[in-house]
Structure 1
Amino acid sequence: MTILDSILLGPDALIREALTKIDAGSSQLAIVVDAERRVLGVVTDGDVRRGLLAGVTLDDPVDRIMNRKPKLASAEAPDEEIQALMRREVIHQVPIVDENRRIVALRTVDTFVAAERLENRVVLMAGGLGTRLRPLTETVPKPMLSVGGRPLLETLVQSFIDQGFYRFDFSVNYRAEAIEEHFGNGYRFGAEISYLREEEPLGTAGSLSLMAERPAAAFFVMNGDILTSINFRHMLDFHKQTGAAATMAVFEKGFDIPYGVVEVEGDRLVTIREKPTHNFFISAGIYVLEPKVLDRIAPSRFLDMPDLFARMIEAGEAVSAFPIREYWRDIGQHQDLDRAEQDFPRVFAGK
């Protein structure tokens, strides 16, 4: 099987199969073709996530979410034309087809230029008290607690670095000296690290007012007490595609109701559901913001990120939700820390 063959599938294939091809291949997409290998559509990570938000499941057919009008290039097109198409459409891959729309190749941005580091800044919130994790946090700041043999914050930093990001701001307050002593200016990690030093807690959004300079492009804000295998490049691409001012990563959680839930109409009992599970999307503590969002943050005033998003929604700003399908765990309590320690070897093997 060729590399191209490995990313092809039919329209009746399941979304789960497309996802396997997307995650396994360097091209980061699957191409849907008919029996004659004519291109019917393409599926990207963003298509899958938008489908999940709309209520589809991984066991639905792929034609429910595929892009039926993908950008294609002719097999006769010169490299300059294909590169121009990628820049214009802000895409990383272009299927190459013959005169009958049959797939003959796939060109990716990596075939033109070497992978380069991304200039988008990453702000990591590392100033919390970690009250629920005492006594562990009486001497160690929560982001510096060990998971998998190294500080949680170091795993976050390394995940971003592995994906091409290298410019960091750490928002610090409680026991900041432990964090600064471990990371310094970031040189030994292959990164550039600056510090936003809170004199008093400013919240997950308020401390952004301490940034020395306004970012030139969309930037990440992330809580420093999260363990996740999320693909940050996918989230950034998703944010750009939606054209939103801000994007919030969300994670689906199920909550069991330990009682029989009844529905009534007037005095009539209509239905009974015994111990149902309700699923909700919760904020995952990972955000992408456009620089203009900083105009909504008053200097040195307490503000949490959910409140900032609520203000933007009320003002009619476009905000989007990015559903996480990868591993995610908020390290808020002792049982979360224990579970993360158990999960680490499986989720982060070799990293």
Structure 2
Amino acid sequence: MKALLLAGGLGTRLRPLTENRPKPMALVGNRPWLEHLILDYKQQGIRSFVIAVKHYREMIESHLGDGSKYGVSIEYAVEKELLGTAGAIKNAEALLGDRFLVVNADIIHQMDLQKAIRFHEEHDGMVTICLTEVDDPSHYGAVEMGQGGRIRSFVEKPKLAEAPSNLINAGIYIVDRAALRYIPSGGAVSIEKETFPLLIRNGAGVFGHKLEGYWMDMGTTERYRQLHWDVLDRRFPLPISGEALDDNGIWLGTGVRIGQGALLVPPVMIGPNVTIGDRSVIGPYAVVGAGSRIGGGVRMARTILWDRCRIRTGAQLSNCIFGTGTHAGPHILHEAVCNRVLEVQRP
């Protein structure tokens, strides 16, 4: 079975971090999420991928290539213009088999794929929508479930009082090729607003399967931070590169240099080839990307640095997120967010 990963959008809600990269390539635990996703699916038996690309196509293709370095096969379905979620699937039709997975590639999740596939094989429908439960379904597509998991209605972004349930579309689908007949070619089509309601009305069989693993829409900086705290607390057991120090919540990459009197307060994840200056205090809840340089006397907590950041001597950072190559300090900064093309000044 192939997995089609939808990675063509811009990810505007995570800006400015995604000003220069697609949201699925945002770093999660010092590695692009799209890479984590492919490796996780590979471990669960999926070794053939199609990636739907539009914006920043070159970045994705240059990083992932044909997949051989990961032990998988990757093909690319290129959109000349944005086609929407269903349009992107239709555009990739020639690369897909009789049954395939579709995944919104910017959704953070860890699930039992084989359990979902078995559920799909046991019903007579064309589509299985993987579902997760949230407190407020008004930002998502909410479903009304019937007997045996059949979905009776699908409402995209309902008002809270009008939502049919708290079960929402998790952005992961198992699709039979026959469902592609319901998607017109050549234009933008929304699977949530158009295709699913059409399939339900026509009795084609749309079923829901509730996920039991971790799920997070990282579309805001607040949720992006929380995702990393969940990784550090191991609520989301994402593999962490580097050496774990005595199971105390500190992970160090290779080539890390720590100055005299510097203190790491767990949980902390330090990427490879990072330098931390004398008497700096890093943590709790800090993620430092590869090749970053932190000056002396820095205080940094609940902060995420991507690769090759420079933090000047004496800076104090809390609840900050800095994209690749950001230079910051020596100011006191709280909840600052910027990408590599900016230099942070006083708020």
**Which TM-score applies when normalising by structure 2?**
0.58
**Contact residue 137 and residue 167 of structure 2 kept, 8 A:** no
Q: Which has the higher helix share?
A: 1
Q: Distance in 1 between matches of 2:170 and 2:46?
A: 20
Aligned to 1:231: 112
Aligned residue for 2:135, secondary structure, equals strand
**Contact residue 172 and residue 195 of structure 1 kept, 8 A:** yes
Aligned residue for 1:188, secondary structure, equals helix
Which residues of 2 match residues 100-249 of structure 1 at below 5 A?
Answer: 120-211=1-92, 213=94, 215-249=96-130
Which residues of 2 match residues 79-94 of structure 1 at below 5 A?
Answer: none
- Select 1:254's aligned residue among 135, 140, 149: 135
Q: What is the deviation of 1:243?
A: 2.1
**Contact residue 214 and residue 291 of structure 1 kept, 8 A:** no
- Select 1:338's aligned residue among 222, 225, 230: 225
> Which amino acid letter does the alignment assign opposite residue 193 of structure 1?
I
1:310 aligns with 2:197: yes
> Which amino acid letter does the alignment assign opposite residue 32 of structure 2?
P
Question: Rg bigger for which structure?
Answer: 1
Q: Distance in 2 between matches of 1:135 and 1:256?
A: 26
Ranges of 4+ aligned residues in structure 1 off by more than 4 Å: none
Q: Distance in 2 between matches of 1:201 and 1:215?
A: 19
Q: Distance in 2 between matches of 1:186 and 1:213?
A: 19
Q: Distance in 1 between matches of 2:187 and 2:231?
A: 37
Gaps of 5+ in 2: 139-163, 241-347
Aligned to 2:182: 296
Q: What is the deviation of 1:212?
A: 5.7
Q: Distance in 2 between matches of 1:293 and 1:243?
A: 12
Aligned to 1:348: 237
Higher RCO, Cα 8 Å, sep 6+: 1
Distance 1:149 1:330, change over 3 A: same
For residues 91-138 of structure 1, give each alpha carbon's deviation from its aligned partner in whole angstroms, at most 9, with x where no partner exists: xxxxxxxxxxxxxxxxxxxxxxxxxxxxx1100010111111111111
Q: Distance in 2 between matches of 1:349 and 1:201?
A: 31
Gaps of 5+ in 1: 1-119, 258-277
Aligned to 2:166: 280
Percent of pairs identical after alignment?
A: 33
CA RMSD of aligned residues (A): 2.1
Q: What is the deviation of 1:255?
A: 3.5
Aligned residue for 1:298, secondary structure, equals coil
Q: Distance in 2 between matches of 1:316 and 1:152?
A: 36
